[in-house]
Amino acid sequence: MKRPTGRRLTATAMTVVALTVGVTACSSGDGTTTSEAADSGTYTIWDPYPQFAKDSAWAKLLDGCGSKAGVKVKRTAFDTSDLTNKALLAAQQDNAPDVLIVDNPVVSTLAEAGALTTTDENKVDTSKVDPNLLAAGRTGGKTYGTPIGANTLALYYNKDVLKAAGVDIGSVKDWTSLTAALEKVKKAGKKGITFSAIGTEEGSFQFLPWFWGSGAELTDLDSSRAVSALSLWNDWLKTGYAPNSVINNTQTTSWQEFASGDYAFAENGTWQLANADKAGFDYGVLPIPGADGGSAAAPTGGEFVTVPVQGDTGRYATTRKLVTCLTSAENLYDTDTTLSYVAPTSEVRDKQVAAHAELKPWVEAVKAARGRTSDDLGTEYPKISEQMWKAVQSALSGSDTPKAALTAAQDAVK
């Protein structure tokens, strides 16, 4: 767990790809960007939540965990992509924070750079965390953190639009029945489905449930199953079941289309629940169906609590207390409620659903979810994702057929 001062990070790690899902506010928060290693009574925590000020419930939770551990917590909040760069630089300079909370796809980048300790090394207990969620923090057979919560994607639907079109939501079980529902909606004079297919990580994030729902794997972008997924989206645009605007839609603008009240379905995440309640129409949530039925694996969003490598290994014992406090059942419930996350453990999820029944379909979606860097893809994922969103853009814009677009993507990855 020790490393020489000024250790050079891997070239891969220094070529950082921003893997953000959605737009985050500008950096803010208290404290500076340097670790206070000289002050054994002060422990630093970096997080990607600049929207939470010093008097927020989140900041108070961090302070409370510090008090419980007998130390003072110095918190710094960054924009998600900025945090990745800062964390890599801090690791290179032996100036890392004691606790680092990062977007889950970034964990493998930092781990492969040698910037993080494993949960075996730092003795953080992950035994209650669902394996499919924990997998996002695994690389090389080792685990480098624990999830603080998860969000994912599902289909919101407008009950009024479906009723007017004569669609029973219970009949939507696979791609064929979903497409049949969209056909009825269009014939009734309403709009079908909206999503984000923009040429960024957001586009890949939204395409993955359909990609994985076809049975395709990220190591084989141009398989027949992968082509069927992109063909599904392509056909929806050709028939008018989805608008051409999806090519440039972010998840935010896609939501705004759904919030107009004209669309039957929208692919979006748990973070839109508050907006859904304000939309002014009755809505429901359906896990994204797989090609042949069941719930498709949607990608997991959310952050991991990690422990960066420290020159002073004596700090780890107190750091473990901080992490244990932050990820305790009691604190996970409060934190995941604040962040609109589904908890990573069944114990806390059961409590969430008991208090908020509307979370039930999201729990089912999270149970079926999959980490983007799972299957030991690690730092290969950004390369694959970039070619994936380029293929989606190429096909939906009419520049290439789905097959040709995905073949070009696979060749580029190789």
Torsion of CA 27, 29, 33, 38, to 10 degrees: -170
- What is the pTM assigned to this prediction? 0.84
Domain ranges, ordered by start, for the chain: 15-150+301-368, 153-298+377-413
Q: Which residues contact 106 (CB under 8 A, 6 or more apart)?
A: 19, 83, 84, 87
CATH architecture classification, 153-298+377-413: 3-Layer(aba) Sandwich (3.40)
Per-residue pLDDT reduced to its tens digit, 285-317 = 999 999 999 999 999 999 999 999 999 999 999
Per-residue pLDDT reduced to its tens digit, 116-144 = 999 999 999 999 999 999 999 999 999 99
Residue-by-residue pLDDT tens, the chain, 414 positions: 322 233 334 434 433 433 333 333 222 334 333 444 434 699 999 999 999 999 999 999 999 999 999 999 999 999 887 898 999 999 999 999 999 999 999 999 999 999 999 999 999 999 999 999 999 999 999 999 999 999 999 999 999 999 999 999 999 999 999 999 999 999 999 999 999 999 999 999 999 999 999 999 999 999 999 999 999 999 999 999 999 999 999 999 999 999 999 999 999 999 999 899 999 999 999 999 999 999 999 999 999 999 999 999 999 999 999 999 999 999 999 989 888 899 999 999 999 999 999 899 999 999 999 999 988 888 899 999 999 999 999 999 999 999 999 999 999 998
Are the folds of 15-150+301-368 and 153-298+377-413 the same? Answer: yes
Instruction: Return the CATH number of 15-150+301-368, one of 3.50.50.60, 3.40.50.2300, 2.40.160.20, 3.40.190.10.
Output: 3.40.190.10
**Token reading at 202:** 């957001």
Cβ pair 399, 241 in contact under 8 A: no
Q: What's the pLDDT at 40?
A: 63
